[in-house]
Structure 1
């Protein structure tokens, strides 16, 4: 069954919820954010955009988010997101089962193909947070 927009009918009703951004949480003074773990069901790029001031401030040492070719990621370019984080001082890696694989400044066009990865976690360390950065570098595969 489909609704008037031609989309599949929802099994459950759609409920509106109040949202906020990471920057709004940080500005409220209630949160000191050193580790940012994002699981936003495909809207991870939007969460990262809503954290721009917080990420630029240098307080966040580690970020982990999900990437897939579904949902909102269809409207975002992962390479652009990695460049955005690089400009904010982060090095990012594919998070494999046994190791990390560098993405920042190591982008390969194959990463943009739909058959490369359907889903993956991306781990990023702030270059100014030596503890986090050293830990991720140590777990990364070296060429």
Structure 2
């Protein structure tokens, strides 16, 4: 059946079967789209559930000049992006403790402090040279 017909039937008559039929049409392609982004079954299932929940809640406000499929997939994409952001936050929150020991080992190597100070001095010198007029840069380059 036509998306517009099913949307009107759900919104105007409260026909839950129309909503289910509407969402079932897009279940498989939406899952494949979400899978490409997340590639984890549990996350995909969570996104699908949340996408359908939000779509049903927002369906009465849906504007028919938009394509329903695009509208639904945008909701799914936004949900998937939220999952990806949460993953990144988790990784960043766990990373410092994991790598701190390795960084301390490197910094404590003999000569490491001097090497760091020398690199900082060279960077400061390069910044100062960049501020010079062109003729003076040529002199420094010689």
Normalised TM-score (structure 1): 0.24
Higher normalized helix content (fraction of residues) = 2
* Max Rg structure: 2
Higher normalized strand content (fraction of residues) = 1
